[in-house]
């Protein structure tokens, strides 16, 4: 049983949604899609946290 994430293939979708579809296609083609998705999630969280802490440092 494979756990594939189905991308939303809509031609009218914005470019960031198409980029997410490409990312999901890449994740689904890897041998370990869950680990790849976890890695992407960790990178995203680190990116968001880094942006958030930068803005807080400027206020203090």
Which pLDDT does position 28 carry in this prediction? 72
| 17 contact partners, CB below 8 Å, separation of at least 6 | 8, 10
| Span 2-47, pLDDT tens digits | 555 555 555 555 676 777 788 777 777 777 778 888 888 888 888 8
Angle between helical axes of 33-59 and 15-29 (0-180°, round to 10): 140
Q: How many angstroms from the chain centroid is the CA of residue 5?
A: 12
Which position has the higher pLDDT, 42 or 1?
A: 42
55 confidence band (pLDDT: 50, 70, 90): low
As a whole number of angstroms, the distance between CA 45 and CA 59 comes to: 22
């Amino acid at each position: 049983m494979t756990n594939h994430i189905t991308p939303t293939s809509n031609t009218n979708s914005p470019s960031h949604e198409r980029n997410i579809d490409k990312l999901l296609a890449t994740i689904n083609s890897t041998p370990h899609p869950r680990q790849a998705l976890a890695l992407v999630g960790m990178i995203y969280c680190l990116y968001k946290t880094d942006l958030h802490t930068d803005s807080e440092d400027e206020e203090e």
